[in-house]
Amino acid sequence: MPTLPDFRLETYFSRWEFTARYHLTASDVQTFTVSELLALADDDGRERWENLTLGYTETYGLPALREEIARTYTEVGPEHVLCFAGAEEGLYLAMRTLLEPGDHIVVITPNYQAAETIPLSIAEVTGVALREEAGWALDVDEIERHLRPNTRIVSVNFPNNPTGAVPDLDTWTRLIRLCDDRGILLFSDEVYRGLEPDPAATLPQAADLSASALSLNVMSKAYGLPGLRVGWIACHDPEILRRLERAKHYTSICNSAPSEVLALIGLRARDTILARNRAVIAENVPKFDAFFARFPDLFEWTAPRGGCVCFPRYLGADGVEAMCTELVEQRGVLLLPSSIYRSELTPTPADRFRVGVGRRDPDEGLAAWAEFLEERR
């Protein structure tokens, strides 16, 4: 396999994520302590935790965990679920396993970098940009125009990182029908599902609507439990899951036993956890509204339609890269500039930055940012 390029986001985070004072670009919701999570455990979950043995686990995942994951779908059973060490492992192995040289894949942009760089190391890749001028709308007609006889996969991510976009139901079901009709696998990254402020905007999961689609999810984002490193793919095709399981033998082999039990506890308490996490976002959005309203000459901002990240525009003459760099170096406020989300496939905006609205108490960070901007006026 060709050498993959530097993962720009992780390289940037390796410098700043744990040294910056204010993390205003976090992609996850405020996390829990172990004691807080265990307080949500039912009797079975607590007994599993207290009597856990630290041996190897099943490659497919703890059976009880797969059963609970299946309950988050309407048409998926535990036999349709394969667990991974986070969503990144699932994404990586799906692309490495299901694509071959000579295949073609369509990927939406802007995106999580691995969604395009991994396919680019294997196959022919076409990017289809979300329509910025239409609120980051998904253009199914444009996807269809780029399909080829050798198109193997269409890869999407909704709610989208970094834009917070969510397509309407008609657009979503049309995409799924298009892939099914053409015999193309839909790879659907759904890691932010469940954080939509309007429940009516929550889309059905791809694996519930298609016999061949792959739905990727994880405990990291909507559930706010990234330290567990537990993700999964749901798919009705047993041959796809078998191939992915064989590939997993070469990476993590199996998940961490403590993490699987804690993930089980979290999923059983998902209604409580997701309601709490949506409440954190709902409390934060007015604070960001007020911040950006103070600087209408510098920013264009729209809160995320789903998830906990969004992609505002910076209008300052110095440019977004300089603003983000000076802000973190001088005031310790971390944002992700648009260069992190540049694409090799399509033009991408050069004047935007990612904001995260899922962490508690952003007030001090916003105040430091405001002081920085006022001093530069």
Which tens digit of pLDDT belongs to each residue from 25-66? Answer: 999 999 999 999 999 999 999 999 999 999 999 999 999 999
CA gap 231, 98 in Å, rounded: 18
The pLDDT of residue 37: 98
Question: Average pLDDT of the chain?
Answer: 97
Residue 257: band (very low, low, confident or very high) from pLDDT cuts 50, 70, 90: very high
Q: Are residues 83 and 120 in the same domain?
A: yes
The pLDDT of residue 146: 98
Q: Residue 167: give its domain's CATH number.
A: 3.40.640.10
Q: Are residues 259 and 345 in the same domain?
A: no
Q: Does residue 166 belong to any structural domain of this protein?
A: yes
Q: Which residues of 26-46 are buried (b: 16+ CB within 10 A; e: fewer)?
A: bbbbbbbeeeebbebbeeebe
The pLDDT of residue 200: 85
Q: Does residue 42 belong to any structural domain of this protein?
A: no
The pLDDT of residue 2: 62
Coil, helix or strand at residue 80: helix
pLDDT at 3 over 90: no
Q: Residue 346: give its domain's CATH number.
A: 3.90.1150.10
pTM summary value: 0.97
Q: Does residue 1 belong to any structural domain of this protein?
A: no
pLDDT at 10 over 80: yes
Q: Where are the beta strands (DSSP E) in the chain?
A: 22-23, 81-84, 104-109, 124-129, 151-157, 185-189, 214-218, 231-234, 299-300, 309-310, 313-314, 333-334, 336-337, 353-356
Q: Are residues 191 and 311 in the same domain?
A: no
Coil, helix or strand at residue 8: helix
When divided into structural domains, the chain yields a total of 2
Q: Give which of 229, 147, 221 is closest to 191, Cα–Cα.
A: 221
pLDDT at 342 over 60: yes
Question: Averaged over 351-369, what is the pLDDT?
Answer: 98
Asked which of 231, 246, 269 is the last residue of a domain, the reply is 269
User: What is the number of other CB atoms lying within 10 angstroms of the CB of residue 19?
Assistant: 10
Which tens digit of pLDDT belongs to each residue from 68-116? Answer: 999 999 999 999 999 999 999 999 999 999 999 999 999 999 999 999 9
Which tens digit of pLDDT belongs to each residue from 166-191? Answer: 999 999 999 999 999 999 999 999 99
Q: Are residues 167 and 190 in the same domain?
A: yes
Which tens digit of pLDDT belongs to each residue from 186-211? Answer: 999 999 999 999 888 899 999 999 99
Of all residues in the chain, the percent with pLDDT exceeding 90 is 98
Q: Are residues 153 and 164 in the same domain?
A: yes
Question: Averaged over 249-275, what is the pLDDT?
Answer: 98
Question: Which domain covers residue 240, as residue numbers?
Answer: 53-269
Q: Are residues 173 and 321 in the same domain?
A: no
Q: Does residue 39 belong to any structural domain of this protein?
A: no
